[in-house]
Structures are given as structure tokens and as C-alpha cells.
Amino acid sequence: MAEHYPETADIETSSDGYTARFAGPVGEWMLGIQKEIVVSWVREAQPNAILDVGGGHGQLAVPLARGGNKVTVLGSDPVCARRIDAEVRAGSIQFVVGNVIALPFPDKSFDVVISVRLLPHCERWPDLIRELCRVARKSVIVDYPVQSKLSSLLFGVKKRLEGNTRTWLAFRHAVVRSEFERNGFMFKRRRGQFFLPMVLHRTLRCRPLSELLEDLCRKLGLTRRWGSPVLVEMERV
């Protein structure tokens, strides 16, 4: 049961309330950016097996499974499978209940291990990284918000605008890289998803405008240098 596990942030990210944050054209566009990056990285690895830790939200597990990949989702409670229930019942996704910082799999069980929307909400995040690395044969893909002078200010603004915002950890790139290196993985690549705060796009509620603004930021090199949150791929040494 979930109460036996020290880290259960994926229960929230698998909920209807969390999914509502990405409802509508703007949310669909934001998820599309994440999906495009991750799917292209995974395709290069040509994996036989993929593990999505905390992926009950289905944001990546579902498109990856529909792309013909063998996908397993690890959730900290049976309720985390609710949003991917159709795929689980169809057999295209395997769902396993377990501890995200003590994964119930042998070493190097999966070619690629993914965990999005989890690292920033995990208090024992070094343990999470350790476990992601332990069960990965080739690479690990995670996302996180970048620590900056604006991060605390943006959280206050985000909380006022959204009302149900959870606290999160923001990271410096060097800190994340160091933790992966400690577990035998080296940096491969990183992509910033947005330059402007995601809460701004949700507030604007205008996908064409958001696309225009972010496209301009990418062309100016702002997203590459200061984009957040970032997706990062680490590969086994």
C-alpha cells in the first residue's frame, strides 16, 4: 500500500486534478513538446524494454506504447494506474505497484528508464536517481525545473494564478549531473522545453500566441541557454 512507501508524489501526478492542468489546446501543445523530445530520444536507443517510473499520468507511457514499444509503468499505489487503465487492460502497458526509491526490479532490467513530473517532488531525490540508474541498461531520461534567482518568485506567482500548485525542488544542472555520475552515468544531452513560464501560457490560454512566443525564444537561443523545465538524458558509462 502507498502508505508504506516514503515517496508517493506520483499519486498526485496521476490524478484527474493534475491532468486538468494540461487540458485544452495549450496543455496539449505543452505535452506535445515534451513527447516529441522524449520519443525521438527513445527511438534512437531502439529499446527492447522501457520503464516509466511514476508514469501513471500516461503522458509518455501511452504514446510510447502506441509506438510499438514494450512499456512498464511503476506506480506507488494501484490508483496510479487509473489514467492508463485501458492500455493496461489491453496489454500494451504493464503496470507494477512498488516503491519509487526501491524499485522491485533486478539491475539493468530495462534499456531505457524514464521519470517525468517526479524528481522535483521527491524529497529523497538522490535515492530516486540511484534506483533509476540501477535498473537502466542504456540510459535514463528525467525532467526538472532549473534553479535560478527567479524560481522562488515564479512559484509565488504560479500559486496565486493556479491555486493548487505543489511545492517543488529546482535544480542546478551540475548537481543533477554529479548525482548521475556518482551512479555510473554520464551526461548525454539536455533540452529546455520553454523559455517563458508555463503558468504564463496557461494564463494566456492562446496556443497560437504561446507557440509564436516560444518559437521566437528558441530562434534567439534563449530556450537553449535558460529554458525550464529541462529534459535530460544520461547514459551508462
Q: State the pLDDT at residue 156.
A: 55
Residues 227-236: b if buried by 16+ CB within 10 A, e if exposed? bbbbbbbbbe
Angstrom distance (rounded) from CA 237 to CA 229:
25
Give tens-digit pLDDT for 31-61: 999 999 999 999 999 999 999 999 999 999 9
Selected from 2.60.40.420, 3.40.50.150, 3.90.1150.10, 3.30.470.20, the CATH number assigned to the domain covering 2-236 reads: 3.40.50.150
Q: Which residues of the chain have pLDDT under 70?
A: 1-3, 149-166
Check: CB of residue 204 under 8 Å from CB of residue 173. no
Q: State the pLDDT at residue 92.
A: 97
Domain ranges of the chain: 2-236
Q: State the pLDDT at residue 167.
A: 72
Give tens-digit pLDDT for 153-185: 555 555 555 555 567 899 999 999 999 999 999
